[in-house]
Structure 1
Amino acid sequence: MKPFKPFLVITITVAVAVLMIPALLVLPFSKDSAKGELTEKIEKSEKDLSSQLENSAIEVAVYRTAVRKIQNYPLEKYVAGVVSAEMPADFELEALKAQALTARTYIVNQLASNNTMGLPKGANVTDTEMHQVFKDDEELKTLWGADYNWKKEKITKAVLETKDQILTYNGKPITATFFSTSNGFTENSEAYWKNSIPYLKSVESPWDKESPKFYDRKILTVKDFEAKLGVKLLEGEEIGTVVERTPGKRVGVVQINGKKLTGKEIREKLDLKSTDFTWERKGEQIIITTKGFGHGVGMSQYGANGMAQEGKNYKEIVTHYYQGVEISSSSKVMSTVVANK
Structure 2
Amino acid sequence: MRQNLKMRKLAVVLLLVILAWEWSAGCRRPEQKPLRREPETEFRYTEPEITLYDNATGQKKRIKFEEYIAGVVAAEMEPTWPSEALAAQAILARTFTLFKIRYEKGVPQHGADASTSAEEFQAYDPGRITPQVREAVRKTRGEVIKYRGRYIRAWFHSNAGGRTATAVEGLNFTKEPTPYIKSVEDPGQKVAKPEAKAWSASFPVDEVRAAVIEQTGRDPGAITVASIPKKGLSGRAVTIRLGKATISGAALRTALGPDKMRSTLIDRLELRDGVLHMAGRGYGHGVGMSQWGAYYMAEKGRSYRDIIHYYFKDVTIDKIWK
TM-score, normalised via structure 1 length: 0.71
- Unaligned segments of structure 1, at least 5 residues: 1-55, 145-150, 335-341
User: Which residue of 2 is the match for residue 70 of structure 1?
Assistant: 60
2:151 to 150, 164, 173: 173
C-alpha distance after superposition, 1:211-231 (max 9, x if no partner)? 121211112234433443343
User: Which residue of 2 is the match for residue 82 of structure 1?
Assistant: 72
Runs of 4+ in structure 1 off by over 6 angstroms are: none
Instruction: Please provide the CA RMSD for this pair.
Output: 2.2
C-alpha distance after superposition, 1:254-301 (max 9, x if no partner)? 223443222122212222111112223343433211211111111111
1:220 aligns with 2:203: yes
Amino acid at match of 1:127: T
2:308 to 306, 318, 325: 318
Task: Give the conservation status (yes or no) of the 8 Å contact 1:181–1:303.
Answer: yes
Task: Give the conservation status (yes or no) of the 8 Å contact 1:253–1:262.
Answer: yes
**Percent identical residues:** 27
Task: Give the conservation status (yes or no) of the 8 Å contact 2:107–2:113.
Answer: no
Task: Give the conservation status (yes or no) of the 8 Å contact 1:190–1:197.
Answer: no
User: Which residue of 2 is the match for residue 44 of structure 1?
Assistant: none
User: Which residue of 2 is the match for residue 94 of structure 1?
Assistant: 84
SS of the counterpart of 1:119? helix
> Greater Rg, structure 1 or structure 2?
1
User: Which residue of 2 is the match for residue 118 of structure 1?
Assistant: 108
Amino acid at match of 1:72: R
TM-score, normalised via structure 2 length: 0.75
- Unaligned segments of structure 2, at least 5 residues: 1-45, 213-218
Task: Give the conservation status (yes or no) of the 8 Å contact 1:108–1:330.
Answer: no
SS of the counterpart of 2:132? helix
2:179 to 188, 198, 223: 198
User: Which residue of 1 is the match for residue 281 of structure 2?
Assistant: 291
1:306 to 296, 300, 305: 296
Greater per-residue helix proportion: 1
CA pair 266-114 structure 1, distance change in 2 beyond 3 A: closer
CA pair 327-287 structure 1, distance change in 2 beyond 3 A: same
C-alpha distance after superposition, 1:13-57 (max 9, x if no partner)? xxxxxxxxxxxxxxxxxxxxxxxxxxxxxxxxxxxxxxxxxxx64
2:229 to 243, 247, 254: 243
Amino acid at match of 2:142: D
Q: How many residues align?
A: 261
SS of the counterpart of 2:105? coil
Measured in 1, the distance between the counterparts of 2:274 and 2:56 equals 41
Measured in 2, the distance between the counterparts of 1:206 and 1:59 equals 37
Measured in 2, the distance between the counterparts of 1:205 and 1:250 equals 14
